[in-house]
Amino acid sequence: MKKQHTRYAAGAALVLFTLLSSCEDLVEVNEPINQISTGQVFESVSTADAALSNLYAEMQAYSLISGGSPGAGAELGAYADDLYGYGVATQNSDFDIFSNTQLPSNTRIKLVWSNAYKEIYMANSIIEGIESSTAISEPDRRRIRGESLFLRSLVYFYLTEVFGDIPYTTTTDYMVNKSLSRTAEAEVLLKIRQDLYDAAAMMEDSYRSTERIYANRKTAEILLATVLMTRQQYAEAETLLKGIVQNPLYIWQPDLTKTFKMTGKHILWQLKPLKPGNPTNEATLYYFVSALPNTYTLSDPLALSFASNDLRKQNWVKSIVIAGKTYYRPDKYRNTVNNTDEYSVVFRLEEAYLLLAEALVQQNKLGEALPYLNAVKQKAGISAAPLTLTKVQLLNEILNENRKEFFTERGIRFLTLKRAGRLNDLSAVKPNWKSWHIHWPVPVSELLLNPNLNPQNDGY
């Protein structure tokens, strides 16, 4: 499928275990090993877990769930209407994504695609290795396979949401991957759904780390619920989401100032900085004080949409005046040095509440939905939504709360607009938005390497 796979195809061996420095923080191993065979990796649970930790580290640093510049929080936040991009206006990179003028040759889009398929390759390597291993106990085999399936599903979900039809592969066989054609978006979602059901069945509710830095069953289930919502399977999603919000592992955090503290019991899954004391990617990406911002700020329409008494505006948005102009800094993560209490939150209970409210409203259970929506609103110190709202009004309330609650987090604004069929609403606030911008173009370099990926997405 791609040139990059040639690098990784040295026999499922190891990329997988060319340990990033981060792995030493996530899992203890004796000595870093540059290259070992697949059989050696999966002849003990410690080496298999180290390979899995390498995939977690990759997700933290380079994937679309990263809180840094490669992540969907920044890329899709700017692509939609949550962020303004202040990077150098270099053609064919981040600025073109922000201005909705991306081309198939865009270097950032190519990097997003390449990183995603690298992560899929790594997950497939682990799954293949653990399936053929006879040296690891069955409970550990199930856990490692389940977590790998979940991580692969998460990457595939973002790929198909952003690119539409994509190549879907479960193998590391380069001869197969290099000539794959694209699978229809609806079919990819079906495959992800099944993979997540399988993953959840193999995982446990209990966490293998008190820091919640490894996915558990409920992490897989909240992603599965999101996929089901995307497919309009609201009753199934409702069942999963109620299982999350009612689980005693999770405790509603009423203090908004503690939302991004690593010890919160409202957190389903978070990513640990790669080295002790490092700030989160989000803390450094959005930080500026007196000099003009050179990455991203909150868009003015978003910053000005908060009520004055909204605690999210007071605590998560920093107004900074530079040369007479007001800029709005995302301020969810505060520790830029000597960080001891912030990890990058990926899934949290507030998302399950708003997803559940949406699933209930879509089934015309308006009264049941209100407590979940209002819990988020009241935590922010704003008035509860009344019982008199119609279905359409409630869906708009949920969409708006998602935006105010989750800006800079995982591109949730883009995902919720797409799920609602309202991405083209962006044409009212983004002058270059076109109807075909619901998808990014497939990188032209990939089409040249593998003509089976044609045709290019509409409009490009």
pLDDT, tens digit, for every residue of 82-114? 999 997 666 789 999 999 999 999 999 999 999
State the pLDDT confidence band at 38, using cuts at 50, 70 and 90. low
DSSP summary character for residue 339 = B
> Does residue 23 have a pLDDT over 90?
no
Cβ atoms of 459 and 13 closer than 8 Å: no
155-177 burial string, b = 16+ CB within 10 Å, else e?
A: bbbbbbbbbbbbbbbeebebeeb
pLDDT at residue 449, rounded to an integer: 96
Of 2-16, 56-70, 427-441, the least confident: 2-16
Cβ atoms of 69 and 408 closer than 8 Å: no
The overall average pLDDT reported for the chain is: 92
Beta strands in 59-135 (DSSP E): 83-85
Say if strands 83-85 and 296-298 run parallel, antiparallel, or are unpaired.
Answer: antiparallel
pLDDT at residue 439, rounded to an integer: 98
Of 4-13, 117-126, 286-295, 302-311, the least confident: 4-13
Query: Which residues are CB-neighbours of 206 under 8 A, at least 6 positions away?
Result: 216, 249
d(CA 238, CA 355): 8
DSSP summary character for residue 384 = P
Which amino acid, one-letter code, is at 406?
A: F
Output 406-409 pairs: Cβ under 8 A, ≥24 positions apart.
406/350, 406/351, 407/77, 407/82, 407/83, 407/298, 407/302, 407/316, 407/330, 408/67, 408/73, 408/74, 408/77, 408/82, 408/83, 408/282, 408/286, 408/330, 408/332, 409/73, 409/332, 409/345
pLDDT at residue 317, rounded to an integer: 98
Residue ranges of domains in the chain, CATH in brackets: 3-265 (1.25.40.390), 267-334 (no CATH)
Average pLDDT value for residue range 5-29:
38
d(CA 96, CA 16): 33
> Does residue 129 have a pLDDT over 70?
yes
> Does residue 31 have a pLDDT over 50?
no
d(CA 270, CA 438): 28
**pTM of the full predicted structure?**
0.92
Selection from 446, 186, 408 nearest residue 287 by Cα: 408
Beta strands in 350-396 (DSSP E): none
Question: What distance lies between CA 230 and its chain's CA centroid?
Answer: 15
> Does residue 351 have a pLDDT over 60?
yes
Task: Give the side-chain half-sphere CA count within 13 A for 199.
Answer: 28
Chain segment 354-403, per-residue pLDDT in tens: 999 999 999 999 999 999 999 999 999 999 999 999 999 999 999 999 99
pLDDT at residue 92, rounded to an integer: 81
d(CA 392, CA 364): 10
Residue 116, φ and ψ in degrees, nearest 5: -65, -45
> Does residue 4 have a pLDDT over 80?
no
Residue with tokens 């919502």: 229
Chain segment 218-242, per-residue pLDDT in tens: 999 999 999 999 999 999 999 999 9
pLDDT at residue 26, rounded to an integer: 35
Rounded percentage of the chain residues whose pLDDT exceeds 70: 90
- The interaxial angle of helices 391-406 and 349-362, nearest 10 deg, is 160
> Does residue 299 have a pLDDT over 60?
yes
**Torsion sign (Cα): 426, 431, 432, 436:** positive
Chain segment 132-190, per-residue pLDDT in tens: 999 999 999 999 999 999 999 999 999 999 999 999 999 999 999 999 999 999 999 99
Residue 178, φ and ψ in degrees, nearest 5: -70, -15
> Does residue 346 have a pLDDT over 80?
yes
Token pair, residue 271, equals 């990513």
